[in-house]
């Protein structure tokens, strides 16, 4: 495997890494945020209004406040006890009976809250209800009932020596019940603000969770880490063309796709410095990755350089190279050569640009021929190895297009006969699981994996569009605008 000695650079997980995740998963975060805001707004607008009444009750002893000498250094224990008693069931029962309320003590006590200050003997009582009048009535009645019960239960008691009587505990309403001017709930603006904050947090969590569990390979770094070999080319596809014409070769001399295949040809030439790469197998893990397009255009790129190149259709199940080169399907071809019905030169078909234009080198296609019932047996035969040897004697390079690796065993038979293998991966389509299976097969069989070609990548025209244009061709409007902007900056500098 060519990945030996090649280390995938481990990118530091920093702010840029997380920002990139947010950028790629922004729609997930935005959808969760929008849903939270809508839910918060719906909750705030549909909830019934609630009003609040407040009052203050002072806990005392006799005719004054609580005596610290009697109760200790702090009045907190007695005020805490009184706060609990104010929310007792007996108090709620008497309030319900006096106001003739259609509710239960537990339901009423849910509307009542009692707060204390550890440094004072004051109970802050608040009551929430559907109307101001009801809230004030409940709070006022609660204060009256509580004060009376405290007076009854904590009356004066004699001291043990019988000489004096302990001053009774009292609960006096100091600040009578009064309603707040506006409703305390719901608060739509506050509810929406809280929902937005929670939605943003949940949206980010959802974005990172989706990124963590997403198995698809979306960029160059993830592809290289998954396959353990470098990405040797990134090929953009023209989605403005029909799906049938999109897979054909680019006969023009200029364009982003043409330049991308020239870069692939240069990278393969660099890889062949240490060991010859005369025969190259082009395959993929699954269908639809663009392997036939890569094989056809790679052969054309090598022929443009002046090399004699043969492109072999070894996909004997779903051949597509004849369509890519616009060649009429022939009954001879690879299968005819393997079974001895045709010679090599009879099976080959010379191809070239439309209009009779000549290439610097020879480009020949060895089509599949008649589809056999036993493709694996044919491709693993000695005749196949002999056919590749014959092609190497007549051509500088032999590009073999095969079936997907994970579907059939056909490409595994050919992979051991060639000098190197190139795996084609479509951006956002292949998965980490497929990459793991490919690596396992490659390592188990000792296949020389050269690298990965990443297809359907973003067009570089936004930054480098004018480099791929023909001489004298008018650059796109965006490119002209950027060139003018750069010129202005240069003049100002």
Distance CA 309, CA 224 (A): 28
301-336 pLDDT per residue, tens: 999 999 999 999 999 989 989 888 888 777 788 998
Compare 134 and 342 and report the one with higher pLDDT. Answer: 134
Same domain, 305 and 398: yes
* pLDDT on residue 69: 47
Task: Copy the structure tokens of residue 243.
Answer: 């799906």
Same domain, 170 and 227: no
Least confident of 62-71, 72-81, 232-241: 62-71
Same domain, 112 and 237: no
**Predicted confidence band at 156 (pLDDT cuts at 50, 70, 90)?**
low
* pLDDT on residue 474: 43
Q: Is the pLDDT of residue 30 over 80?
A: yes
117-132 pLDDT per residue, tens: 877 888 999 999 999 9
CA R_g for the chain: 41
Q: Is the pLDDT of residue 73 over 60?
A: no
Same domain, 383 and 240: yes
Same domain, 167 and 237: no
- Specify the pairing of strand 122-129 against strand 112-116: antiparallel
Q: How many CB atoms lie within 10 A of CB 296?
A: 29
Residue 26 lies in a domain: yes
Distance CA 324, CA 296 (A): 7
CATH of the domain at 363: 3.40.50.300
Least confident of 53-67, 143-157, 176-190: 53-67
Same domain, 264 and 292: yes
Compare 134 and 64 and report the one with higher pLDDT. Answer: 134
Residue 235 lies in a domain: yes
Average pLDDT over the chain reads 81
Same domain, 240 and 158: no
Residue 480 lies in a domain: no
Distance CA 283, CA 411 (A): 7
Residue 379 lies in a domain: yes
**Predicted confidence band at 472 (pLDDT cuts at 50, 70, 90)?**
very low
* pLDDT on residue 8: 46
Domain count, the chain: 3
* pLDDT on residue 241: 58
Residue 278 lies in a domain: yes
Show the domain range for 195: 19-47+187-213
CATH of the domain at 98: 3.30.70
Q: Output the CA–CA distances (angstroms, integers) from residue 386 to 312, 347, 364, 381, 406, in the order listed.
A: 14, 15, 18, 9, 26
Residue 474 lies in a domain: no
Same domain, 193 and 322: no
Residue 490 lies in a domain: no
Compare 74 and 392 and report the one with higher pLDDT. Answer: 392
Average pLDDT score over residue span 168-185: 88
Least confident of 261-265, 283-287, 481-485: 481-485
Distance CA 190, CA 435 (A): 49
* pLDDT on residue 18: 77
Same domain, 163 and 244: no
Average pLDDT score over residue span 170-182: 90
Same domain, 173 and 86: yes
226-260 pLDDT per residue, tens: 888 899 999 887 765 555 555 578 777 778 888 98
Task: Copy the structure tokens of residue 59.
Answer: 């806990």
Residue 481 lies in a domain: no
Compare 62 and 190 and report the one with higher pLDDT. Answer: 190
80-98 pLDDT per residue, tens: 888 899 999 999 999 999 9
* pLDDT on residue 20: 77
Same domain, 62 and 152: yes
Same domain, 79 and 175: yes
389-409 pLDDT per residue, tens: 999 999 999 999 999 988 888
438-457 pLDDT per residue, tens: 888 888 888 899 999 999 88
Distance CA 255, CA 224 (A): 26
């Amino acid at each position: 495997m060519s990945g030996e000695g090649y280390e995938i650079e481990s990118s530091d997980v920093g702010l840029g890494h997380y920002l990139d995740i947010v950028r790629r998963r922004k729609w997930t975060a935005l959808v969760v945020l929008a849903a939270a805001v809508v839910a918060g707004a719906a909750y705030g607008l549909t909830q019934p209004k609630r009003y609040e009444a407040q009052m203050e009750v002072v806990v005392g002893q006799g005719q004054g406040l609580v005596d610290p000498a009697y109760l200790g250094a702090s009045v907190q224990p007695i005020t805490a006890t009184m706060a609990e008693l104010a929310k007792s069931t007996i108090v709620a029962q008497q309030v319900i009976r006096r106001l003739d309320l259609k509710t239960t003590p537990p339901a009423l006590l849910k509307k009542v809250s009692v707060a204390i200050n550890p440094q004072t003997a004051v109970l802050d009582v608040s009551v929430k209800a559907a109307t101001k009048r009801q809230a004030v009535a409940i709070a006022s009645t609660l204060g009256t009932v509580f004060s009376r019960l405290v007076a009854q239960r904590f009356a004066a008691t004699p001291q043990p020596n019988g000489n004096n009587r302990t001053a009774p505990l009292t609960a006096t309403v100091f600040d009578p019940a009064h309603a707040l001017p506006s409703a305390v709930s719901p608060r739509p603006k506050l509810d929406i603000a809280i929902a937005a904050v929670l939605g943003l947090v949940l949206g980010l969590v959802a974005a990172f969770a989706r990124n963590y569990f997403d198995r698809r390979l979306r960029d160059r770094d993830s592809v290289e880490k998954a396959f353990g070999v470098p990405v040797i080319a990134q090929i953009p596809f023209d989605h403005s063309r029909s799906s049938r014409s999109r897979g054909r070769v680019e006969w023009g001399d200029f364009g982003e796709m043409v330049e991308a295949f020239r870069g692939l040809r240069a990278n393969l030439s660099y890889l062949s410095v240490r060991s010859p790469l005369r025969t190259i197998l082009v395959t993929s893990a699954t269908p639809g990755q663009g392997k036939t397009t890569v094989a056809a255009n790679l052969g054309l790129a090598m022929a443009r350089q002046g090399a004699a190149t043969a492109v072999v259709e070894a996909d004997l199940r779903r051949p597509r190279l004849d369509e890519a080169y616009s060649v009429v399907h022939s009954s001879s071809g690879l299968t005819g050569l393997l079974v001895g019905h045709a010679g090599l030169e009879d099976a080959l078909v010379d191809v070239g640009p439309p209009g009779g234009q000549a290439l610097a080198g020879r480009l020949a296609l060895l089509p599949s021929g008649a589809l056999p019932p036993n493709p694996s047996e044919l491709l693993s035969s000695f005749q196949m190895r002999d056919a590749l040897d014959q092609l190497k004697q007549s051509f500088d390079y032999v590009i073999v297009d095969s079936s997907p690796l994970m579907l059939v065993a056909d490409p595994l038979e050919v992979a051991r006969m060639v000098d190197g293998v190139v795996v084609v991966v479509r951006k956002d389509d292949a998965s980490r699981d497929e990459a793991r299976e490919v690596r396992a097969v490659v390592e188990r069989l000792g296949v020389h994996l050269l690298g990965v070609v990443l297809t359907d990548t973003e067009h570089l025209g936004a930054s480098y569009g004018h480099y791929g244009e023909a001489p004298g061709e008018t650059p796109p409007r965006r490119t002209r605008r950027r060139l003018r902007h750069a010129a202005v900056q240069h003049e100002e500098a």
